[in-house]
Chains A and B, each alone.
Chain A
Amino acid sequence: MTRMDPAAPVYLDHAATAPLDARVAAAMAACLADTSLQSNPASAHSGGRAAAARVEAARAQVARLVNAPPETIAFTSGATESVNLAVLGAARAAPEGRRHVVTSRIEHRAGLDACRQLEREGFEVTWLAPTRDGRIEADTVAAALRPDTALVSLMHGNNETGVVTDVGAIAAACNARGTALHTDAAQSAAWIPIDVEATGVALLSFCAHKLGGPKGIGALYVRRRPRPLLQPLQFGGGHERGLRSGTLATHQAVGFGVACELAAADLTAEAARVTALRERLWRRLQAAAPLWRNGAAEPALPGILNVGFAGIEGESLLLEIDGRLAASSGAACSSATGEPSYVLRALGRSDPAIQASLRLSLGRGTTSDDVDRAADVLVLGVSRLRSALPAGALERVA
């Protein structure tokens, strides 16, 4: 999406949600306006079959983004539901004697809270710690696997730091032991070519609104062979091959499909362009030194730069830039709680350093002018707040 109004805030919060692509909106509007597509896609009559055909065409588009057969894609309400279905569904359906789950301390709350629920149900969960630069190493995962491990669930690209996990290596270790690997690709699907067949993951979650599609729809890839056992979370109608009952919203599926097709068309070129913009932003922010980067620069998602400014309190910085730059202090999902980011804490950052950190996330609509304007706003804002600091605060708040 291009920012039409030059006075509008620069939007660097794409990791929270990406603006709806105008072409996606047009496709959805056309679908909603088409009276021949208003039937329930599960109905057997001609109207239902017409809607179902649109849903299946969308499913094929969504599947192509991750090189999956269409029949392995189940539509959900979003990545949170996909992750819950994968984590809870796979663990609960695991054979007798497999009551161990491996995950990490830096998962999105969807994965984290689903694993906490499994603990309440009597599962044992191993919580892997990241390296100080935010990596979950394949060797660390392999070492945590046990004969009774039912599931490994790890994010592909971290939503706060952008650090990318080598899911291929982890899938190989899991598959060698007959353990299912679920990966949350909500952030990475828009940026990194994913080939579920080659990678060998058993389950993969992603959603539409992180890649220019609508909110309210996501997908769970479920491998064909060997097919992981999954217990549904909701019942009533047996939709989505029994995995997720509920009438599908045809226009949502259409929007998701178009968004995936658009993302796939320029994925590699956009990833390179946005990576260059991210590094341009990092270079320009050096004018606000002392500052630091949270998480490794590579391998990382193209659009995420998590940066901390010494001597700065995050809430004040957000208000300072409000109206000129949209960004997040920590993750949007956790900033609602007002708690310091548990992800940055797991990286060993102090609470003041976490408070001093900001997640800047670029997207397909981001331009070099946006980046330069954002850097100017931040450098100016940081400078003004630092001008009021007590002596010694710059050194102690870092």
Chain B
Amino acid sequence: MIDAGLAYSRRVLELFRALPTAGDLAAGEGTVIVGEAIALDRSAWVRFEARADAGRIVDTAFRAFGCPHTLAAAALASLALRGQTLTEATAINAGRLAHDLDAPPEKMGRLLVVEDALRALIRGAPRVQ
């Protein structure tokens, strides 16, 4: 049995229960970019979708398979991406997600999968002149 009160921070519980931005992007203007990372040996699979317009991310969505920390981190990263330039988005990484979620060290491997999906998203984005 998991003792939710002991094993998860309040932020993880909030994000896990609401899963904000989970699903697919709504229709809109701009370029859609996708980043995905799969590590089934770590029980983690994360896919981000973002809509970029004039070099800024205007909308995001994610899909994920994994533990509560993985899902919460994917949701948190998806929210954090909104309004960022691609350069600013590179500041979102596993360490920051772990800090914001108060995640235990043993979850870092899974949070790195979230970071890998973010990096793939940013790499795939068209450069804006």
Binding site for B on A (CB under 8 A): 13, 16, 311, 313, 315-316, 318-319, 322-323, 326-328, 332, 338, 351-352, 355, 384, 387-391, 393, 396-397
Q: Does B63 contact A (CB under 8 A)?
A: yes
Q: How many residues of B contact A (CB 8 A)?
A: 25
B47 touches A328 (CB 8 A): no
B4 touches A316 (CB 8 A): no
30 sample A-B contacts, Cβ–Cβ < 8 Å, listed by A number? A16-B1, A313-B43, A313-B65, A313-B70, A315-B2, A315-B67, A315-B68, A316-B16, A316-B68, A318-B2, A319-B2, A323-B4, A326-B1, A327-B1, A328-B1, A338-B106, A351-B41, A355-B43, A387-B22, A387-B23, A388-B62, A389-B63, A390-B36, A390-B63, A390-B64, A393-B45, A393-B63, A393-B65, A397-B40, A397-B45
Cβ–Cβ < 8 Å partners of B1 in chain A: 13, 16, 318, 326-328, 332
Query: CA of A391 to CA of B67 in the docked complex: distance in angstroms?
Result: 17
Tell me which of B4, B36, B43 contacts A319 (CB under 8 A).
Answer: B4
B68 touches A389 (CB 8 A): no
Query: CA of A140 to CA of B30 in the docked complex: distance in angstroms?
Result: 65
Interface of B: prevailing SS: mixed
Cβ–Cβ < 8 Å partners of B43 in chain A: 313, 351-352, 355
A9 to B, closest residue via Cβ: B1
Q: A315-B68, A393-B45 are in contact. List 18 more A-B contacts (CB 8 A).
A: A311-B65, A315-B2, A315-B67, A316-B16, A316-B66, A318-B2, A319-B8, A319-B16, A319-B68, A322-B2, A326-B1, A387-B22, A388-B64, A389-B65, A390-B63, A391-B47, A391-B63, A397-B40
A388 touches B63 (CB 8 A): yes
A388 to B, closest residue via Cβ: B22
| Distance between A319 CB and nearest chain B CB, rounded to angstroms | 5
| Distance between B60 CB and nearest chain A CB, rounded to angstroms | 14
Cβ–Cβ < 8 Å partners of B40 in chain A: 351-352, 396-397
Residues of B1-24 contacting chain A, CB below 8 A = 1-2, 4, 8, 16, 19, 22-23
Binding site for A on B (CB under 8 A): 1-2, 4, 8, 16, 19, 22-23, 36, 40-41, 43, 45-47, 62-68, 70-71, 106
B69 to A, closest residue via Cβ: A315
Query: CA of A221 to CA of B104 in the docked complex: distance in angstroms?
Result: 45
Query: CA of A311 to CA of B64 in the docked complex: distance in angstroms?
Result: 10
Query: CA of A13 to CA of B2 in the docked complex: distance in angstroms?
Result: 12
Cβ–Cβ < 8 Å partners of A315 in chain B: 2, 67-68
Query: CA of A389 to CA of B46 in the docked complex: distance in angstroms?
Result: 9
B24 to A, closest residue via Cβ: A391
Query: CA of A205 to CA of B127 in the docked complex: distance in angstroms?
Result: 69
Cβ–Cβ < 8 Å partners of A389 in chain B: 45, 63-65
B3 to A, closest residue via Cβ: A322
B13 to A, closest residue via Cβ: A319
| Distance between B66 CB and nearest chain A CB, rounded to angstroms | 5
A322 to B, closest residue via Cβ: B4
Cβ–Cβ < 8 Å partners of B70 in chain A: 313
B2 touches A388 (CB 8 A): no
Query: CA of A387 to CA of B24 in the docked complex: distance in angstroms?
Result: 10
The 7 nearest A-B residue pairs measured at CB: A390-B63, A388-B22, A390-B47, A315-B67, A393-B65, A322-B4, A318-B2
B47 touches A313 (CB 8 A): no
Query: CA of A384 to CA of B17 in the docked complex: distance in angstroms?
Result: 10
A388 touches B71 (CB 8 A): yes
A394 to B, closest residue via Cβ: B65
Cβ–Cβ < 8 Å partners of B47 in chain A: 390-391
A336 to B, closest residue via Cβ: B1
Query: Which one of B1, B2, B71 has the highest number of Cβ atoms from chain A below 10 Å of its Cβ?
Result: B1
A390 touches B66 (CB 8 A): no
Cβ–Cβ < 8 Å partners of B22 in chain A: 387-388
| Distance between B93 CB and nearest chain A CB, rounded to angstroms | 21
Query: CA of A315 to CA of B4 in the docked complex: distance in angstroms?
Result: 11
Cβ–Cβ < 8 Å partners of A384 in chain B: 19
Cβ–Cβ < 8 Å partners of A352 in chain B: 40, 43
| Distance between A87 CB and nearest chain B CB, rounded to angstroms | 28
Cβ–Cβ < 8 Å partners of A390 in chain B: 36, 45-47, 63-65
| Distance between A46 CB and nearest chain B CB, rounded to angstroms | 46
A316 touches B71 (CB 8 A): yes
B4 to A, closest residue via Cβ: A322
Cβ–Cβ < 8 Å partners of A13 in chain B: 1
Cβ–Cβ < 8 Å partners of A397 in chain B: 40, 45, 65
Cβ–Cβ < 8 Å partners of A391 in chain B: 47, 63
Cβ–Cβ < 8 Å partners of A338 in chain B: 106
A350 to B, closest residue via Cβ: B40
Query: CA of A322 to CA of B68 in the docked complex: distance in angstroms?
Result: 12
B67 touches A313 (CB 8 A): yes
Cβ–Cβ < 8 Å partners of B68 in chain A: 315-316, 319
Query: CA of A391 to CA of B16 in the docked complex: distance in angstroms?
Result: 20
